[in-house]
A and B are shown apart, each in its own frame.
Chain A
Amino acid sequence: MAGVAVSTTINGDAVEYLCQPDETLLEVLRDRLGLTGAKEGCGTGDCGACSVIVDGRLVCSCLVLGAEAEGRKIETIEGMAHGDQLHPLQQKFLEHAALQCGVCTPGFLIAAKDLLAKNPSPTEEEIRFGLAGNLCRCTGYDKIVRAVQDAANVMKGA
């Protein structure tokens, strides 16, 4: 099958690749571009471990085709820190022990980043429903919610 040439922007960098028409963005990121931060937990959009942001919209990259990235701006976990400065969400996840095995963590950080971008002062309920698309099997979500609350305060300069 002939490949599709794609020009896109990932974490601020111009990126070009060739992919099959039926390849997902998740497969492109992980297998072609070496960006393995996004994880495949289910491949069917149910677990959120593959979460990325496309043109400011939170998506499951397993449900987006690699070809659909053409001309768009993609944000992945690899671009969340700035050099050696962790994003407040990353820092708070560490401080609150909001991760145990950590495999769901990249997806949660991206989803939480999107949540706070759209709602900088969420209530606990809004955080819980906002993150309901991301599955965690280790933590029971308690410390994740606390980390997001704390990060929201820091980001507001409180």
Chain B
Amino acid sequence: MNFDPRFSGRKFASVGTRPIRPDGIDKVTGRARYGADFNMAGQLVGRVLRSPHAHAVIKSIDTSKAEKLAGVKAVITAKDLPDLTDGDAAMFDILDNCMARKKALYDGHAVAAVAAIDARIARQALKLIEVEYEVLPHVTDVDEAAHHHAPLINDQVFTEGLEEKPVKPSNITKRTQFGHGDVHKGFAEADFVVERSFKTEQTHQGYIEPHACVASVNPDGTADLWVCTQGHFVYRQHCAQLLGLEASKLRVTSSEIGGGFGGKTHVWAEPVALALSRKAGRPVKLVMTRDEVFRASGPTSATSIDVRIGAKKDGTITAAEATLRYSCGPYAGSWAEIGAMTAFACYKLENVKTVGFEVLVNRPKTAAYRAPSAPMAAFAVESAIDELAHEIGMDAVDFRIKNAAQEGTRASYGPVYGPIGIGPTLEAVKHHPHMKAPLKANQGRGMACGFWFNFGGQTCTDLNIGMDGSVSLAVGTVDVGGSRASLSLVAAEELGIDYSHVKAIVADTSSLGYNDMTDGSRGTFSSSMATISAARNAIKILRERAAQMWDIPVDDVTWEKGHAIAKGEKYGNLSPLSLKEIAAKSGTTGGPIAGHSELVADGAGVSFATHICDIEVDPETGSTRVIRYTVVQDAGKAVHPTYVEGQYQGGAAQGIGWALNEEYIYGKDGRLQNAGFLDYRIPVCSDLPMIDTQILEIPNPNHPYGVRGVGETSIVPPLAAIANAVSNAVGVRMTHIPMSPPRILAALDAEREG
């Protein structure tokens, strides 16, 4: 299957329009089925017992009383999940995280689970499980944990990536480094140097739908799993491995998903539900409560970042350096590494050095959150950039334009850039009316840039043409934000038919080949590439069938605007055959007509965004109000512009919450204090203004339509844009996210006294 993914400019008929999405009616009528909306006959209710300690040895677990309670059909502990990971450290960490084996490593860590005939009995059963803990000292702060006197979370961890192999264990699992040039030389050449340290607190993706699944395991090794997930194929792989099932015998169906943002790319409850079902011999429905979601799913890293940037008085940056410490939870991860790669990605730098440290803490295992690790690094760097521009006496936007990366620049993470959008987004911002709007008292304006990679990955698509000419499109990338609409537009575009004749569904794991999960902004990028490939394969067959029907060589048949055309003077009497006409005859020309695609979508383009915001600060209370917000981002090609705007606005809103109010608050006892939406306060409707968006389209040369991923980049600039706005409003540099009222007041007080 030779598919050419390269961009070719063209005029679009369907792509770029704004039809109503195909799954929309079910969602506005309440018919759409999410993770907890599905039931199986005879199902039991699953509940999980969780550690109340941040760090403790599990000395014993006695489940006998729980097992005897009437209505309880199964009780499991780690004993019921034998280690089948065969030396795969990453899978072992997942296993241990799903059900603690030797130690409870955070408040909320699962230690046992029950399946009972109803929720009340399940809850009673949990109370009857007796766990003996030996409580250990804990550490939850990223800087405290990095200190050599901190309580050790895993005494088998010796920091990787150091010049000399360490002799003592540590909570720092890995050191990574990126960069080029000579920062010492660069700083020596600088006329101005800004050096600052920043901190960001841990946040959660905050999806409104808690994790939920229904698991059914049969004695013959077959199993079914209904689950809300961003990647049902990945869940199948992980669950099959952990439970010792054959992947093809575990059928995972992705429900509609009520938000993920990276937090539903990992398994927590699912292996537990499968293990319960296996033991009970009945289906088990396991739904996490909101409290459990905060305590025991996968929030993002808390960070501590030092930045140093130097520039000449003409505004040229001569050196940039950053040291980034990211919390991983109690298991190894590569979060600081990504921060180290993205930190200076927007800029053209001769001398740059970034060093990342992964730090273990007694908090839930860090998971991806929309452009993982990039927002925090951008906050630190863009704040320092603003400060530096101010010291030099240059306008914040002009300073960035002067130093912006462009095609041919060596990226701070290594390779040389192809055509990129950072310059255009900055120019668009410079001339945007938002920049000229007057500010009132106590209001400040801030802007910032952001970068994200975007990914491709393994993708399969089936395109089947019905005998009535209507088209079914089965894809394997979960639809998190409306991709069924954009993929239907792409199929309609390639085939040359109307969008209304295409119906896209997300198929289960038994119906398609492996698909990577919907992360890395890859949903539309990868599946559109596979859809284009599948459509082109179907068109080849349509041409062959037309050739058959006309009895002419297939090389004389072309496909245009949904019709087979016989090309050449001698075929003047042959009128074009529509897709519908060819399909109607498919039974006698060779059978059903379909196009398939199994490919690796690769070469996803990087994307850039620049945001502007105006914030008003009340100097007496420290409370803030977002007055105005603008997102400018490069999409390559917006397949369905309304949903691209939606991604820009959604990412900005999450960034606003993160910048101004969201944080995990741990007590001295190591327990999470605010595990609910009341005290973990995400933005509500009245907190935000309308969010203006401007879509730029600099085509990605590695996609037939120029599509770049769009879902993640919009969460990267807000922390910095808002920090710059607040700093400008109050005249004090803000260095700790979130900038909640107490922090703003503390900064103002410190400035007054200092």
Contact = CB atoms under 8 A, between A and B. Distances in A.
B30 A145 contact: no
B210 A105 contact: no
Interface string A130-158: 01111111111111111000000000000
A86 B30 CA distance: 12
B512 interface: no
Given A137-B654, A139-B646, A37 B678 contact: no
B646 A143 contact: yes
Interface stretch (B33-41, B84-92, B346-354, B732-740): B33-41
A128 B649 CA distance: 16
A87 to B, nearest CB: 9
A87 B752 CA distance: 56
Contacts of A94: 20-21, 24-25, 28
Contacts of B691: 140, 142
A47 interface: yes
B290 A138 contact: no
Interface string B199-210: 000000111111
B262 interface: no
Given A42-B676, A90-B28, A138-B481, A103 B686 contact: no
Contacts of B207: 101, 103, 137
A101 B481 contact: yes
Contacts of A30: 36-37
B29 A81 contact: yes
Contacts of A129: 685-686
Interface stretch (B7-15, B252-260, B385-393, B591-599): B252-260
Interface stretch (A2-10, A63-71, A72-80): A72-80
A139 B208 CA distance: 12
A139 B256 contact: no
Nearest to A125: B686
B737 to A, nearest CB: 19
Contacts of B653: 137, 139-141
Contacts of B27: 99, 102, 105
B709 to A, nearest CB: 16
A109 interface: yes
A119 interface: no
A49 B290 CA distance: 12
Interface string B180-213: 0000000000000000000000000111111000
Contact of B208 (A39, A125, A141): A39
Contact of B259 (A42, A80, A138, A143): A138
Interface in B645-694: 645-646, 649-650, 652-654, 676-678, 682-686, 688, 690-691
A46 B677 contact: yes
Contact of A143 (B33, B206, B649, B654): B649
In the complex, which of the residues B24, B34, B120, B683 has the most CB atoms of chain A within 10 Å of its own CB atom?
B24
A49 B18 CA distance: 27
B635 to A, nearest CB: 15
Given A76-B30, A138-B646, A99 B480 contact: no
A132 B650 contact: no
A100 B650 contact: yes
Interface string A8-51: 00000000000010000000001000011111111110110100
Contact of A140 (B25, B36, B649): B649
Interface string B151-193: 0000000000000000000000000000000000000000000
Contact of A47 (B208, B654, B690): B208
Interface residues of B, number: 55
Given A129-B686, A137-B654, A44 B290 contact: yes
Interface string A110-134: 0000000000000001011101111
Contacts of B650: 100, 137-140
A77 B480 contact: no
A97 B29 contact: no
Contact of B643 (A37, A76, A97, A144): A97
B34 A39 contact: yes
Given A40-B210, A102-B258, A145 B685 contact: yes
Nearest to A38: B30
B30 A134 contact: no
B746 interface: no
B339 interface: no
Contacts of B677: 41-42, 44, 46-47, 135
Interface in B687-709: 688, 690-691
A43 B481 contact: no
A137 B30 contact: no
B531 to A, nearest CB: 20
B208 A137 contact: yes
B210 A103 contact: no
A37 to B, nearest CB: 2
A100 B290 CA distance: 21
A39 B258 contact: yes
Specify which of A38, A86, A90 lies most central, judged by the most chain B CB atoms within 10 Å of its CB. Answer: A90
B120 A20 contact: yes
B482 A97 contact: yes
B32 interface: yes
A37 B31 CA distance: 6
A138 B480 CA distance: 9
18 contacts: A41-B210, A42-B290, A44-B290, A46-B290, A86-B25, A86-B28, A102-B258, A103-B207, A104-B208, A105-B28, A106-B30, A128-B685, A137-B261, A140-B649, A140-B653, A141-B653, A143-B645, A143-B649
Interface of A: 20, 30, 35-44, 46-47, 49, 76-78, 80-81, 86, 90, 93-97, 99-106, 109, 125, 127-129, 131-146
Given A97-B642, A106-B28, 18 more contacts: A36-B37, A37-B30, A37-B31, A38-B30, A40-B36, A41-B210, A86-B28, A100-B643, A101-B258, A129-B685, A135-B677, A137-B208, A137-B650, A138-B646, A139-B650, A141-B683, A143-B642, A144-B685
Interface of B: 18, 20-21, 23-25, 27-34, 36-37, 120, 205-210, 256-261, 287, 289-290, 480-482, 642-643, 645-646, 649-650, 652-654, 676-678, 682-686, 688, 690-691
The 7 closest A-B pairs by CB, nearest first: A37-B30, A103-B258, A140-B653, A102-B27, A140-B649, A77-B30, A46-B677
